[in-house]
Amino acid sequence: MKYGFAQRVRYMRSSAVRDILKVANKENVISFAGGMPDEDLFPVEAVRHAFDKALTSGNKTLQYGETEGVMELREILVDRMMKKGIHRKAEDILVTSGSQQAIDLFSRIMFNPGDIVLTENPTYLAALQVFNSYEVNIVPVKSDNDGMIQEDLEEKIVRLKPKCIYVVPTYSNPDGKVWSLERRKHLLALANKYHVVIFEDDPYGDLQFDSAEKVPPLASMDDNKYVLYTSTFSKTVVPALRTGWIVGPHQIIRLMAQAKQATDLHTNSLSQHALIHLMNDFDIDNHIQTLISAYRERMYIMKGLLDSVDNDEISYVTPRGGMFLWVNLPKQVNTTKLLTTAVDHGVAYVPGAPFYVKKPNQNTLRLNFTNAKPDQIKLGMERLVSVIGDGSLLP
């Protein structure tokens, strides 16, 4: 039987990350390929108590719930957002099935086929997947380590009239970048000047290695007109609950809730009730400090071994937070081809190519430093260094 599918299927691509994860699941392979937190650091006892409390607090907890999300959870989020300088009301928050769904619902109410979105390049793979599935025209803006280059950004806004600028400005995936304050302000000024909506994807903002660093979210400098801000409990509590949120202009949030109604009615409300108890009873900020200490240590182990390679053509920027270290290898290297060699040597990474909008830099790769233990990182990086440090193994 030959089925007639929607045109948009042609633009959907399976996540290369997931396909590679399957390869990397071989025994004895140390994988830096995924984007997973360390499950041994999960606050399991706190989650268990929270669920127990939710499950003994009345049967309503298990009934159908409001599409917008459980009000008490939204109020907790209002408080947490306020600590980041984002002053919004509970009505401007939509609880989503992970922040991935926030990207999807936003796209659904925003984009017609052919609409233009400006992005960094490389950028979050699964956001590209969503935009592609809505047949959006994704246009990359030139960027350096401080964020998008102002001239290129303004030129593209004026010429292409994008509907949205999608950014991961803080400890980004894949390249661990942090936008400077100046670039943040400039982006907002352009959004105001040309009336362009900004989608600020911030799953990693809480994983900030130096507590003295000042990285105000874009949303904290916006008058709730142009910035949609999304984050998640996946990195700070656990991923399995698939609970994230998005906050922004009420008109947009309201339409997204309407779209969500048709998509999945509402987010798992038992998990929402459990998260309410967890946020009330558990010191999440202290837990985040534990995560930061562990992840920072692992990042430095990874960095130390990278530094041991004596090759000027290998470069990277030291992550100041988040989960990823992005490496540039010598220009002639193709990391997709090199992956087989790496896996043969017992180590896996994600080639950089799928994170690029159009023509990829084939000599890039992404390393995750949060999932593997320090010993494993050391061993895995020794293996990786033997591959990238040994000219004979490079294609």
Check binding of 87 to a copy of itself (CB under 8 A).
no
Contacting a copy of itself (CB under 8 A), which of 82, 160, 189, 265? Answer: 265
Measure Cα distances from 80 to 215, 234, 241 in Å. Answer: 16, 15, 19
**Residues 191 to 220 in contact with a copy of itself, rule: CB under 8 A:** 195, 197
Kindly write out the interface string for residues 1-20 of this chain, putting x where it contacts a copy of itself by CB under 8 A and - elsewhere.
Answer: xxxxxxxxx--x-xx--x--
Is residue 7 classed exposed, middle or buried when 0-12, 13-18 and 19+ CB atoms within 10 A define those classes? exposed
| Contacting range for a copy of itself; rule: CB under 8 A; set: 25-33, 249-257, 283-291, 338-346 | 249-257
**Distance in Å, CB of 236 to a copy of itself, minimum:** 13
Among 78, 93, 94, 98, binds a copy of itself (CB under 8 A): 98
Q: Which residues of 238-251 are buried (b: 16+ CB within 10 A; e: fewer)?
A: bbebbbbbbbbbee
**Minimum CB separation from a copy of itself for residue 337, in Å?**
25
CA distance 69 to 96: 8
Give me the sheet containing 315-316, strands edge to edge: 315-316, 324-328, 364-368, 350-351
Give the chain's end-to-end CA distance (angstroms, integer): 43
| Residue 286 binds a copy of itself, judged by CB under 8 A | no
Quick check: helix, strand or coil at residue 329?
Answer: coil
**164 φψ region: left (φ > 0), alpha (ψ -120 to 50), beta (else):** beta
Tell which one of 29, 31, 69, 101 touches a copy of itself (CB under 8 A). Answer: 101
Assess contact for 147 and 177: CB atoms under 8 A. yes
| Choice from 30, 73, 110, 157 touching a copy of itself (CB under 8 A) | 110
Find tokens 């779209």 and name the residue: 259
**Binding-site member from 86, 93, 178, 238 for a copy of itself (CB under 8 A):** 238
Q: Does 270 help bind a copy of itself (rule: CB under 8 A)?
A: yes
Stretch of 60-68, 81-89, 138-146, 203-211 contacting a copy of itself, by CB under 8 A: 60-68
Nearer to a copy of itself by Cβ, of 3 and 83: the residue is 3
Tell which one of 249, 330, 374, 389 touches a copy of itself (CB under 8 A).
249
User: For residues 236 and 284, is the Cβ–Cβ distance under 8 A?
Assistant: yes
271 binds a copy of itself (CB under 8 A): yes
From 104, 175, 202, 206, residue interacting with a copy of itself (rule: CB under 8 A) = 104
| Element at 365 (helix H, strand E) | strand 364-368
| 3-state helix, strand and coil shares in percent for the chain, rounded to the nearest 5 | 45, 15, 40
State the minimum distance, in angstroms, from the CB of residue 378 to a copy of itself: 22
Q: Which is closer to a copy of itself, CB of 256 or CB of 338?
A: 256
Which stretches within the chain are classed as H helix? 16-24, 44-55, 71-83, 99-110, 125-133, 150-160, 181-194, 250-264, 269-281, 284-307, 335-344, 374-388
- Residues contacting residue 254 through CB under 8 Å, at least 6 positions apart: none
Q: Contact with a copy of itself (CB under 8 A): which of 27, 28, 59, 358?
A: 59
| Candidate residues 29, 33, 61, 165; the one interacting with a copy of itself per rule CB under 8 A | 61
Q: What residues from 330 to 389 belong to the interface with a copy of itself (CB under 8 A)? A: none
Binder among 26, 44, 89, 289 for a copy of itself (CB under 8 A) = 44
CB-based burial label for 163 (10 Å; 0-12, 13-18, 19+): middle
Work out which of 25, 145, 240, 311 binds a copy of itself, going by CB under 8 A.
240
Q: Nearest approach, Cβ of 270 to a copy of itself (angstroms)?
A: 4
294 makes contact with a copy of itself (CB under 8 A): no
Distance (Å, whole) CA 336 – CA 143 = 23
Single residue of 33, 47, 327, 372 touching a copy of itself by CB under 8 A:
47
Does 239 bind a copy of itself (CB under 8 A)? Our answer is yes
